[in-house]
C-alpha cells in the first residue's frame, strides 16, 4: 500500500497509509536537508509553479526551497498583483498556466474550495497550500512528522489544539489527520472561536485552558488574526491572553514532557508567552519549520511519481 | 366549438383528493361536465390517455425570468417553452429583474413580453419596495391595476420594521398578497451553507437554521399588527414550523411555501463544492428535509415552488463562496416532485394540491382543479417513465440544474393551456 493520490487537496481524502508514506519519505529528506550538499534529482526536468492568491512568506519559501532541492524548475507568482486584479477568473488563470505544461501547481487561495475547483481544470498535480478556512494539508503533515519524531509515535497521543479553531484551516487539517491516526484530540478556546457542529468530529471541546491541557502530550497553539481581536469574537487582546494565552502556569497542567507547537507566525503575548516559545526543552516550533521543507519535498516527489504513471489527457 | 375528450386517464384531482381512472371533457378552453354535453360529443377529439396521469397544470409561484436585464440567462420565450415542457401552465414571475419590476411601466413591459413570447400563462409579481431596497413602498395600487398578482422583494429582507409594517398595512387595504423571505439578515450575512458539521468540514461560512425562524417570528409579529395577507416564500427548517403553526391557529392570513430543491436534496449534496447546489436559503440537513416533507403532508406548508433561478456558467464556475445562488427547475420540477411520490412520502393528489390547487387559490386564480368551470390547464404525464437528466437538453437558456446526470422518473407527455396543446412529447 503506497501513496495513491494524484493531488494533495486536503487531509480528508488521504488514507492512513497515504499519510505514513509521506512521513516515511519525509524522514529521508530530513537527513538529506542536514547534509552539506542538499540536492536530489527527484524532480529534475519538472516545472513547479507556486500560485499564491493570498500573502504568504513562510509557506511559499518552504515550497520553493523544497522544489529547488529536488531539482525542479520553480516559478513563484504573487497572484494578488497579477491578472486576477484585471478581472480574469480563477479558471481562466488556471487554463492559461496549464497551457505552459507545469507538472506541479502549488496553490493558496482565500476561498474554501478554490483549489479543488482549479484541480478539476488542469492536468498536473495540484497541492493545496491553504484554501480559505478549509484545509492546509502540508501544515498538518509537517506537524504530524514533528510529533512522530518527538514522541516516537503518531497514535494514542492526547493532543490539545488551542485558540481560533473556527477560522483555522490548520486546525481542520490537524483534526482530520490526528483523528485518522487514532489520537485523542481536544479543542480549547472560547465558544465564539469554535466552528459549528464541532461536537460531531469525535473531539472533546473545552473552554478552559487548564482543563483542556490536563495531561496532554502535545499542545498545539493557533495564531489569532489581529482583525478578530477587538470585540467581534473576543472582548480584547489582554482578556484573551489572560484566559487562553499559553504561559508556564497553564502549561504545567500538561504532561511534564509535553511539547509545544505553533504553525507561525506567532503573536507573542497574545496566544503564546515568549519564554515558552523559546524554551528549547518544550517548544518544537523551529523543528516544525525544518519538517515543513522535508514534508513538502516528500509530497511533491510522491505526486510527481503518480503523475508520471498516469496517461496524459489533453484538456481543451 | 372545439372539444377534447380525454379517455382512459388516471385523473389526479387535488380538490377531491382522488387518484382514479376516468375521463375528462374540455370545451372552449374550459373543463366541462360530461353530463351536460349530450349532442356535442361526436365533434370532440378523443385522446386516449392509455392509463397515464392527467392532472391540473402546475401553478408555480416565484419563477425568475431574466427580462428585463439579463436576457442571456433566460427570456420569456425560453422560460415559457421550458415551463410548457415541465407541465407548468402558470408562472408567477419574480420582480428581481434589472431594473426591479417596481413600477407600472416595467410591469407592463414584462406582461407584454410574456404574452407575446410565452405559451403558458404568465402573471407578473411586483416589488414591494422601490428598487427592492427596503426604504419606500412601490405604487401598489397602480401595480395591481397593471396586473401584479403579488408583491415581494424576493430574497431581500426589509429590515426596517416601520417600512415593512406600513407596506403590509397599505397592501392589506388593497387586498394585495405580500410574499416575504423569512430570514434574519444579520445572522445569514455572508453565509454559503447551513452551519453544522458539513459547513465546518468544508470551511464554508454557515448560517444557523435559527435565522429562518427569527425572520418568520418577526414577520408574524408584524402580521398580528397589520392583519395583512402574507405568504412565506420558502420555509426550509424544522425550527420554523411551530411558529408557523401557531400563526395559522391564531387565524392570521398566512401561507407558506417551500422549494422543490429543499424537499429533494440536502446539504451533503453540495459534496466537493458543487456550486449548482448553491441555492438561497442554503440546502439543509436531512432532518430538516424530513420535517418539511411531514409539514407538507400535514398541510402546514401549503405550496411547493420551483424557485427557478437561471444563472449562466460564468456565475457558477467560481469558488463556492463567490458563486451565484439559484438553480433552474422548470423542467425538473415535476420529476423531482415525483421522487416524493415514488418514495412513498406523498400521494399524487397531495402533491398537486401543493403544486397547483393551493398556489392558484392563494393567487385568486380559478385553475389548479379538475372541476367543471375551471380553465382547461392540464398536464398529461407518465409518472413512472425513467430517464437520466442531461442538462444540455434543457430548454432553459441557463443549464444550472443540480439534477444533471440524476436518474429521475416522470415524463410530461403533453401540456394544455386553455385547452390548447402547448407541449407534446415527441
Other C-beta atoms lying within 10 Å of the C-beta of residue B405: 9
Q: How far apart are CA B173 and CA A194, in angstroms?
A: 48
In this complex, do B196 and A132 lie within 8 Å of one another by their Cβ atoms? no
Asked if B318 lies within 8 A of A132 by C-beta distance, the reply is: no
Name the residue ranges covered by the structural domains of chain B.
Answer: 57-362
Could you please state the CATH topology (level 3) that the domain comprising B57-362 is classified under.
Answer: TIM Barrel (3.20.20)
Residue to test with chain B: of A197, A198, A233, most B Cβ within 10 A? A197
- What are the Cα distances from residue A194, in Å, to A186, A197, A255, B188, B333? 12, 9, 25, 18, 38
Testing the interface with B: which of A134, A196, A205 to mutate, by most B Cβ within 10 A? A196
Read off the pLDDT of each residue in A172-176 and give the average, rounded to a whole number: 98
* Residue numbers in A near B274 (CB within 8 A): none
For residue B313, the chain A residues in CB contact (below 8 A) are none
Q: B68 pLDDT exceeds 60?
A: yes
| Closest residue of chain A to B271, computed from CA coordinates | A113
**CB contact set of B220 (below 8 Å; sequence gap of 6+):** B243, B246, B247, B252, B254
Helical H segments across A267-310, by residue range:
274-278, 285-308
Max Cα-Cα span within chain B:
70
Cβ pair B197:A201 closer than 8 A: yes
Mark out the alpha helices in B86-196 (DSSP H runs).
104-117, 140-145, 161-173, 185-188
Q: Is the pLDDT of residue B21 over 90?
A: yes
* B33 vs B10: CA distance, rounded Å: 17
The answer to whether residues A212 and A265 touch, using CB atoms and an 8 Å cutoff, is no
Instruction: Report the C-alpha gap between A59 and B285 in whole angstroms.
Output: 36
Question: What's the distance, CA B387 to chain centroid?
Answer: 23
Chain A contact for B249, CB < 8 A?
A: no
Q: Are A81 and A312 in contact (CB under 8 A)?
A: no
Which residues 6+ apart lie within 8 Å of B164 measured at CB?
A: B134, B158, B222
Instruction: Kindly indicate the confidence band of residue B147, based on its pLDDT and cuts at 50, 70 and 90.
Output: very high
Where does the pLDDT of residue A316 fall: very low under 50, low under 70, confident under 90, or very high at 90 and above? very low
CA of A11: which chain B residue's CA is closest? B201
- Residues A172, B203: C-beta atoms closer than 8 Å: yes
Query: Which three three-digit cell numbers place residue B180?
Result: 416575504
Those residues of chain A whose CB sits closer than 8 Å to some CB in chain B are: 12, 89-91, 109, 111-114, 116-117, 131-135, 169, 172, 195-198, 200-201
Angle, helices A285-308 vs A137-151, to 10°: value is 120
Nearest to B352, CA basis, from B63, B54, B49, B85: B54
Chain B CB contacts of A113 under 8 Å are: 202-204, 272-273, 319-321
User: Is there a contact between A195 and B199 if contact means CB atoms under 8 Å apart?
Assistant: yes
Q: Does B347 touch chain A (CB under 8 A)?
A: no
Rounded Cα distance, B264 and B260, in Å: 6
H or E, element range at B45: strand B45-48
Q: Is B287 on the interface with A (CB under 8 A)?
A: no
Q: What residues have CB less than 8 Å from A31, skipping those under 6 apart?
A: none
> What is the pTM (predicted TM-score) of this model?
0.92
Q: What was the pLDDT predicted at A1?
A: 56
Q: What is the mean pLDDT of residues B154-174?
A: 98
Tell me, what's the pLDDT at B36?
Answer: 56
* Whether pLDDT at A315 is above 60: no
Mean predicted confidence (pLDDT) in B30-54:
81
**pLDDT above 70: residue A100:** yes
Q: What is the per-residue pLDDT for B2?
A: 82
Check A134 against B204: CB less than 8 A apart: yes
Question: How much is the pLDDT for A87?
Answer: 63
B204: closest chain A residue by CA: A112
pLDDT at B420: 96
Peptide bond just before B390 cis, omega within 30 deg: no
Q: Residue A183: helix, strand or coil by DSSP?
A: coil
Q: What is the pLDDT of residue A10?
A: 98
Amino acid at each position: 500500500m503506497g501513496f495513491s493520490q494524484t493531488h494533495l487537496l486536503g487531509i480528508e481524502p488521504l488514507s492512513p497509509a497515504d499519510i505514513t508514506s509521506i512521513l516515511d519519505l519525509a524522514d529521508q529528506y530530513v537527513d538529506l536537508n542536514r547534509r552539506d550538499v542538499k540536492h536530489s534529482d527527484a524532480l529534475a526536468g519538472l516545472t513547479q509553479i507556486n500560485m499564491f492568491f493570498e500573502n504568504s512568506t513562510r509557506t511559499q519559501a518552504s515550497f520553493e526551497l523544497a522544489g529547488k532541492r529536488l531539482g525542479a524548475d520553480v516559478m513563484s507568482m504573487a497572484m494578488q498583483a497579477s491578472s486576477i486584479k484585471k478581472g480574469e477568473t480563477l479558471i481562466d488563470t488556471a487554463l492559461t498556466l496549464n497551457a505552459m505544461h507545469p507538472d506541479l501547481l502549488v496553490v493558496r487561495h482565500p476561498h474554501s474550495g478554490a483549489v479543488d475547483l482549479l484541480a478539476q481544470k488542469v492536468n498536473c498535480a495540484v497541492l493545496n497550500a491553504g484554501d480559505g478556512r478549509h484545509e492546509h494539508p502540508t501544515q498538518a503533515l509537517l506537524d504530524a512528522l514533528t510529533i512522530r519524531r518527538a514522541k516516537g509515535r503518531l497514535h494514542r497521543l492526547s493532543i490539545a489544539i488551542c485558540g481560533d479553531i473556527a477560522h483555522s484551516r490548520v486546525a481542520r487539517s490537524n483534526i482530520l489527520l490526528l483523528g485518522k491516526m487514532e489520537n485523542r484530540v481536544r479543542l480549547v478556546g472560547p465558544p465564539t472561536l469554535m466552528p459549528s457542529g464541532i461536537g460531531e468530529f469525535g473531539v472533546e471541546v473545552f473552554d478552559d485552558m487548564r482543563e483542556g491541557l490536563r495531561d496532554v502530550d502535545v499542545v498545539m497553539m493557533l495564531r489569532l488574526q489581529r482583525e478578530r481581536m477587538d470585540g467581534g469574537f473576543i472582548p480584547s487582546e489582554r482578556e484573551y491572553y489572560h484566559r487562553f494565552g499559553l504561559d508556564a502556569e497553564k502549561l504545567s497542567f500538561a504532561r511534564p514532557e509535553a511539547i509545544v507547537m505553533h504553525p507561525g507566525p506567532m503573536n507573542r503575548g497574545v496566544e503564546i508567552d515568549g519564554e515558552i516559545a523559546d524554551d528549547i526543552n518544550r517548544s518544537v516550533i523551529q523543528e516544525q519549520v525544518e519538517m515543513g521543507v522535508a514534508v513538502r519535498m516528500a509530497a511533491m516527489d510522491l505526486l510527481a511519481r503518480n503523475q508520471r504513471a498516469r496517461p496524459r489527457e489533453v484538456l481543451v | 366549438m372545439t372539444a377534447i375528450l380525454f379517455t382512459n386517464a388516471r385523473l389526479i384531482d387535488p380538490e377531491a383528493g382522488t387518484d382514479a381512472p376516468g375521463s375528462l371533457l374540455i370545451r372552449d378552453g374550459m373543463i366541462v361536465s360530461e353530463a351536460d354535453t349530450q349532442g356535442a360529443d361526436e365533434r370532440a377529439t378523443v385522446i386516449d390517455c392509455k392509463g397515464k396521469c392527467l392532472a391540473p397544470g402546475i401553478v408555480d409561484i416565484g419563477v425568475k425570468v431574466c427580462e428585463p436585464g439579463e436576457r442571456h440567462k433566460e427570456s420569456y420565450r425560453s422560460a415559457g417553452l421550458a415551463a410548457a415542457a415541465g407541465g407548468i401552465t402558470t408562472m408567477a414571475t419574480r420582480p428581481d429583474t434589472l431594473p426591479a419590476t417596481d413600477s407600472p411601466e416595467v410591469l407592463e413591459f414584462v406582461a407584454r413580453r410574456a404574452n407575446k413570447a410565452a405559451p403558458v400563462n404568465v402573471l407578473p409579481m411586483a416589488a414591494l419596495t422601490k428598487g427592492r431596497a427596503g426604504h419606500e413602498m412601490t405604487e401598489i395600487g397602480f401595480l395591481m391595476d397593471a396586473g401584479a398578482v403579488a408583491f415581494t422583494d424576493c430574497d431581500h429582507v426589509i429590515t426596517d420594521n416601520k417600512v415593512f409594517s406600513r407596506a403590509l398595512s397599505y397592501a392589506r387595504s388593497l387586498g394585495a398578497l405580500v410574499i416575504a423571505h423569512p430570514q434574519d439578515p444579520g445572522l445569514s450575512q455572508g453565509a454559503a451553507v447551513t452551519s453544522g458539521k458539513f459547513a465546518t468540514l468544508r470551511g464554508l461560512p454557515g448560517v444557523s437554521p435559527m435565522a429562518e425562524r427569527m425572520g418568520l417570528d418577526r414577520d408574524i409579529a408584524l402580521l398580528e399588527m397589520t392583519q395583512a395577507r402574507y405568504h412565506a416564500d420558502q420555509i426550509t427548517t424544522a425550527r420554523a414550523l411551530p411558529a408557523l403553526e401557531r400563526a395559522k391557529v391564531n387565524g392570521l392570513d398566512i401561507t407558506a411555501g417551500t422549494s422543490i430543491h429543499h424537499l429533494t436534496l440536502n446539504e451533503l449534496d453540495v459534496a466537493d463544492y458543487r456550486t449548482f447546489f448553491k441555492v438561497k436559503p442554503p440546502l439543509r440537513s436531512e432532518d430538516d428535509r424530513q420535517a418539511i416533507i411531514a409539514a407538507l403532508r400535514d398541510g402546514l406548508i401549503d405550496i411547493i415552488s420551483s424557485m427557478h433561478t437561471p444563472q449562466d456558467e460564468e456565475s457558477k464556475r467560481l469558488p463556492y463562496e463567490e458563486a451565484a445562488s439559484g438553480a433552474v427547475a422548470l423542467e425538473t420540477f415535476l420529476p423531482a416532485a415525483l421522487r416524493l411520490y415514488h418514495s412513498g412520502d406523498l400521494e399524487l393528489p397531495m402533491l398537486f394540491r401543493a403544486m397547483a390547487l393551493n398556489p392558484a387559490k392563494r393567487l385568486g386564480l380559478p385553475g389548479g382543479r379538475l372541476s367543471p368551470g375551471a380553465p382547461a390547464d392540464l398536464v398529461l404525464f407518465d409518472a413512472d417513465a425513467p430517464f437520466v437528466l442531461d442538462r444540455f437538453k434543457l430548454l432553459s437558456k441557463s443549464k444550472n440544474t443540480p439534477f444533471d446526470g440524476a436518474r429521475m422518473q416522470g415524463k410530461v407527455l403533453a401540456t394544455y393551456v386553455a385547452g390548447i396543446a402547448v407541449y407534446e412529447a415527441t
